[in-house]
Structure 1
């Protein structure tokens, strides 16, 4: 059995943010949420990790309001040992305790599982890594005879010889819980930082005759922490590259995997192609043969097979049917539905509307709160006037209608099947089938007109 403690009490001064460090995001998700997900992958549904909070505790707790978590609070920042001590009431002695960090977001469940398997009542297990430049990290001190781990020395307390050691402590460890409870009261703050170091339990374990096991992650980025914006940006790119590589292995064509961001969940069919600088947010599904042009944002949407999203478009909370065309420079807002072979062209905004099968809104238009039939052609500059300043109203457009350019459809209004609207009209009344509706001022040509002269 396993208990997991996630340390998340730090302020993160170097982030220069009012937000707690562990709530800073990687791929749109707080760092501590990534760690929580990794923990839950080991624990399963019936157990919950312990999160130790301190700075910004309420904000962290609010984020996890709908998730299963045990909370412990570290009111004073007195070191990692002191933080773990706050979690002891939630731990079970006959189990192993795995200690994680809320600012180490890319740790993989497979690595943690391997670490836990090395721990038992007679063994403590450390996750270590070898760095070409170990500056700033606690060093792993080994016995010169049998190479066994004997202690961890923090850099500020290390001798010059110890500072040459390249194997460092990641802070992640698996500890027999009964021994952890025994060692916590013995920790001392007699060190350069005057803090209670969790790492001191390694020497206690050796003194008590426990074996000190270790394992290493498959990649260094798994154990990289975030203390500043540069490190945050580096891990963001690493996370995105990891995802891109996984998707390409599954058949997704990314024209440049370095310039791709997925900040949510992406499902895709075969022969899907995504151009550069595309951002995926929320839950997105792309059907077979979908093509996404450069600089697009796709959020919480389903795009069916054979559809092309042209450059610089945004699709948000929408359902796009098969063989549609969207963009360039189009915006589909939440509640938009495009049926088979519909077209929404450049500089068109659609909100909470249905664009029927084969219908076209080619350019420079706003369609909001509209139910549009099939075979409709909407001229440039057409808008549905759906808002009176207080309430929203609906526009209904029947099948095979033609709406001339620069038309204003003042909702609530309904155009029957086969209606034609003259360009430049303001339509306020319902039409009947096969009507031609024109609503504009009569043109007057004034002869002898004198143009204004600049004074």
Structure 2
């Protein structure tokens, strides 16, 4: 049977008090609506329709071609929102899941179980429910004496007896698609909020003799709909714990789960150890047997097997197998390190490749450069790549040695096996196996240090006298 999805993402989210449209607020590094689309994709939905309203262009821009879109120009309730998809989906046969774009914690496993129950029972509608000790603010699921679902009553419309019910509506449903749009035509706005409730479809279908079912999730966190920053932080905490737990079950050692932040799309290989204070985000991929952290931030980067990164920041970088980075290194976009490379403390690398076995051990900047294999770059050496208008390339070929405090003024090339003496400023290319030295000859002036001190002392005494 064909599976379809309608994602409700038209609400403004005033309680977020934000310029950012509500469903685009990130949870574990990904906008909430992105999590929801991932979930419906994983259960095999053939078509996905996102109902947009406020911030429509921003949502369209983020989701791109991953979904179809319909516009709800006036926010007149959830039933009215779903009805906007009729032109696209009204003629389809199959099962339609309706889910809110601000419910990022609903899992594919739960959604699959909801579909399965709906299809097994031949229901016209199946609602995802949860049991809550404090259900205030949620619609209540009302059952008859035999335990069958009769209707859903919104909080503001509950009677005193209905208000005591603990089973709540999470806002996620499966519908027979044709029966959904037929019922929507019968929904009215005769209620406390004068809105067209999607929940009324359940009561309408039951009154027509159709079967309604309910699947209760065992994880109450899945019921969280994010409407303010407090709920956003709760969703973040639940999802972060979920993500960390899954990585540990997959063979990753995480020393302190509560002090480790891992994004939803991060991949980590077995036997890697993540130390406290690590923040892994974007589509970062970390191989096996790596050591990451402590206090390390890695975003959209690739770390190959056996590498170690500690006390460092990496963004859009690649680190080869067996390579060590840090402490206190900064790899910026375009930094690509080969195998068994060493990048030490207070080294910054940007848009540069380092070949296998090369070393930049401390206090250096390597930008817009191509560095070969087994190159040693000494303390304080830099590639001078920017003249205020243009950026130029520095090339250092295999087995070269760059001494401490060397300035390589790009564009420049240092050949294979060449040796650049410490303290040199290199403006011309150096051929293979040549030695380059570019510094002023030292001159010692006997006793001149005393004259310098006396001159400085006299100047200070004069200034002190004038200031009195």
Instruction: Name the TM tier (shorter chain).
Output: over 0.9
Match in the other structure for 2:185: 185
The 5-angstrom pairing of residues 253-264 of structure 1 reads 253-264=253-264
Match in the other structure for 2:466: none
The 5-angstrom pairing of residues 54-453 of structure 1 reads 54-67=53-66, 69-91=67-89, 92=91, 94-119=93-118, 123-143=124-144, 145-311=145-311, 313-446=312-445, 447=448, 448-449=451-452, 450-452=455-457, 453=459
Pairwise CA distance, 1:122: 5.1
Gaps of 5+ in 1: none
Q: Is the 2:303–2:321 contact (alpha carbons within 8 Å) kept by the matching residues of 1?
A: yes
Q: Is the 2:251–2:270 contact (alpha carbons within 8 Å) kept by the matching residues of 1?
A: yes
Q: Distance in 1 between matches of 2:96 and 2:361?
A: 61
Secondary structure class of the residue paired with 1:125: strand
Cα deviation, 1:275-318, whole Å, max 9, x if unaligned, reads 1121222333333321112121223333233221122x122333
Q: Distance in 2 between matches of 1:81 and 1:269?
A: 45
Q: Distance in 1 between matches of 2:134 and 2:112?
A: 27
Secondary structure class of the residue paired with 2:284: strand
Q: Distance in 1 between matches of 2:201 and 2:349?
A: 61
Match in the other structure for 2:24: 23
Pairwise CA distance, 1:93: 5.4
Cα deviation, 1:59-81, whole Å, max 9, x if unaligned, reads 111112232x2222111111111
Cα deviation, 1:248-284, whole Å, max 9, x if unaligned, reads 1111011112222222533444421111121222333
Q: Distance in 1 between matches of 2:339 and 2:204?
A: 69
Provide the aligned length of Structure 1 versus Structure 2.
Answer: 450
Q: Distance in 2 between matches of 1:236 and 1:129?
A: 19
Q: Which is helix-richer, 1 or 2?
A: 2
Secondary structure class of the residue paired with 2:134: coil
Call closer, same or farther: CA 1:326–1:444 in 2, change over 3 Å.
same
Pairwise CA distance, 1:425: 1.7
Call closer, same or farther: CA 1:387–1:152 in 2, change over 3 Å.
same
Q: Distance in 1 between matches of 2:386 and 2:169?
A: 61
What TM-score comes out, normalization by structure 1 length? 0.93
Q: Distance in 2 between matches of 1:126 and 1:433?
A: 74
Cα deviation, 1:139-170, whole Å, max 9, x if unaligned, reads 11222x32222221111111222211111111
Q: Distance in 2 between matches of 1:217 and 1:384?
A: 58
Q: Is the 1:293–1:309 contact (alpha carbons within 8 Å) kept by the matching residues of 2?
A: yes
Give runs of ≥4 in structure 1 deviating > 6 Å: none
Match in the other structure for 1:5: 6
Secondary structure class of the residue paired with 1:43: coil
Call closer, same or farther: CA 1:444–1:279 in 2, change over 3 Å.
same
Q: Is the 1:264–1:280 contact (alpha carbons within 8 Å) kept by the matching residues of 2?
A: no
What TM-score comes out, normalization by structure 2 length? 0.91
Pairwise CA distance, 1:127: 1.1
Pairwise CA distance, 1:223: 2.2
Secondary structure class of the residue paired with 1:214: strand
Cα deviation, 1:419-454, whole Å, max 9, x if unaligned, reads 333322211112234433222234444522222533
Pairwise CA distance, 1:83: 0.9
Q: Is the 1:40–1:48 contact (alpha carbons within 8 Å) kept by the matching residues of 2?
A: no
Q: Is the 2:376–2:399 contact (alpha carbons within 8 Å) kept by the matching residues of 1?
A: yes
Q: Is the 1:353–1:367 contact (alpha carbons within 8 Å) kept by the matching residues of 2?
A: yes
Secondary structure class of the residue paired with 1:117: helix
